[in-house]
């Protein structure tokens, strides 16, 4: 997953969703997801691609981006964020 080819982005999007589905936590940070996706010390290289994937997935309604515990606009958020699956209450 070194480059941003569309196949790599699809794989990363599926990996992000898989990490959220398989987690016992309601939300995960990008760092936590990166450590699930790769098992070596290269996980920091995935932080920007995970953010891009998260924005795409949020725009598609497949996940929610949270900041300070509240959902945010996927096209306009800064700082520390967490990702979660949409809730169907």
Residue 89 within any structural domain of the chain: no
25-34 pLDDT, tens digit each? 999 999 999 9
Task: Mention every residue, 6+ apart, whose C-beta is less than 8 A from residue 61.
Answer: 86
Enclosing domain of residue 23: 6-84
41-81 pLDDT, tens digit each? 999 999 999 999 999 999 999 999 999 999 999 999 999 99
Of residues 86, 88, 14, the one with CA closest to residue 50:
14
Question: In total, how many domains does the chain have?
Answer: 1
What's residue 8's pLDDT?
Answer: 86
Residue 11 within any structural domain of the chain: yes
Handedness of CA 41, 65, 57, 17 (dihedral sign): positive
Residue 34 within any structural domain of the chain: yes
Residue 68 within any structural domain of the chain: yes
pLDDT at 5 over 80: no
CATH code: domain of residue 22? 1.10.10.10
The secondary element (H helix, E strand) that includes residue 31 is helix 30-37
What's residue 66's pLDDT?
Answer: 98
Give the confidence band of 7 by pLDDT, cuts at 50, 70, 90: confident
């Amino acid at each position: 997953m070194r480059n941003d080819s569309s196949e790599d982005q699809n794989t990363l999007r599926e990996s992000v969703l898989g990490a959220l589905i398989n987690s016992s936590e309601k939300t995960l940070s990008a760092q936590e997801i990166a450590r699930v996706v790769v098992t070596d010390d290269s996980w920091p290289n995935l932080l920007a691609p995970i953010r891009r994937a998260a924005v795409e997935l949020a725009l598609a309604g497949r996940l929610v981006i949270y900041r300070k515990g509240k959902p945010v606009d996927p096209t306009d958020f800064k700082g520390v964020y967490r990702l979660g699956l949409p809730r169907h209450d």
